[in-house]
Amino acid sequence: MATLLYIHGFNSSPQSLKAQQTQSWLAAKHPDIAFRCPFLSPYPDLAMAELDAALASLADPIYLIGSSMGGFYATWLAAQRGARAVLINPAVRPWLGRDYLLGPQANHHSGEIAHIEQRHLDALRNWEVDPLPRPQDLLVLLQTGDEVLDYRLAEDKYRACRLVVEPGGDHSFQGFERHLPAIHAFFTA
């Protein structure tokens, strides 16, 4: 059975709207695809270890969806596993210009407090993928109104990939559920 691994962003969780929309849509339209969305640590080393453990328990085919920081992680995992991935407003070089993340950070869903230090941001360099080995395996969804990340950085990094750039919107990617049929088609093509 195929599995879709949804990778939420920093300070998010499996309760995020996009994760819930994806899970509900798959259950209604494609119950033959299992859905997994582990709750990830805000600390990069732990988050990547959690993702590696989740992937180790899954059989191919595996599809990846990553949002924001989850898109950064999904880029690495897709390159390592030879998997297809959909990236939603992905973080690009998240160790740069993210000083606002230093110090205490509260998870939007659980309220859990993490204390982010510079070493946590610096660790993200370990998962940079440049150049992209198989750009045809990535579908990137961007909205120009993203108030957290500059969409142009992702537009440049992923220019060789299949790109969907929508005017307006925001970091949460307004209207995400509209793209679920196209995402399924991308994975199963």
- Domain ranges within the chain, ordered by starting residue: 2-188
Q: With pLDDT > 90 as the criterion, what percentage of the chain qualifies?
A: 91
* pTM of structure: 0.96
Q: Looking at the predicted structure, is the pLDDT value of residue 23 above 90?
A: yes
pLDDT at residue 100, rounded to an integer: 83
pLDDT range class, residue 146, cuts 50, 70, 90: very high
Distances (CA, A) of 163 to 87, 109, 126, 137, 142: 10, 29, 25, 11, 8
Q: Looking at the predicted structure, is the pLDDT value of residue 20 above 90?
A: yes
* CATH label, 2-188, candidates 3.40.50.300, 3.40.50.150, 3.50.7.10, 3.40.50.1820: 3.40.50.1820
pLDDT range class, residue 55, cuts 50, 70, 90: very high
Number of CB atoms found within 10 A of residue 53's CB: 10
Q: 89-100 b/e with 16+ CB inside 10 Å = b?
A: bbbbebbeebee
pLDDT range class, residue 97, cuts 50, 70, 90: confident
The strand pair at 113-116 and 103-106 is best described as antiparallel
pLDDT at residue 40, rounded to an integer: 96
> Mean pLDDT across the chain, nearest whole number?
96
CA-CA distance, 150 to 67, in Å (whole number)? Answer: 14
pLDDT at residue 175, rounded to an integer: 98
Distances (CA, A) of 80 to 23, 77, 136, 153, 163: 25, 5, 15, 22, 21
